[in-house]
Amino acid sequence: MITFIMNNSVANMNIEMICPCGGGQSCIVDRRIVGDFVHEDDLFTQSRIPIRKNCYTKFTKKQYEKIKPFLS
């Protein structure tokens, strides 16, 4: 597991993989790349709903209804 995390870093990302948001600690694309937990991914996959491609992808109606209770 340590090897996976060390080999995958935001600095090593292809230009096509960079999120339109610019990346950062709360970026779902960056978090996936480094192997960090993404709550919405977990929630959606458990519900058999497709995950969003990046931070700028709008929620579908099904995704929004699933995540709505967790939004503040």
**Residue 8 pLDDT exceeds 80:** no
Look at residues 35, 48, 37, 44 and name the one whose alpha carbon lies nearest to residue 68.
Answer: 44
Instruction: Name the residue with higher pLDDT: 60 or 5.
Output: 60
- The pLDDT of residue 11 is 66
> Mean pLDDT, the chain, as a whole number?
85
**Residue in this structure with the two tokens 């497709």, named with its chain if needed:** 50
- The pLDDT of residue 9 is 67
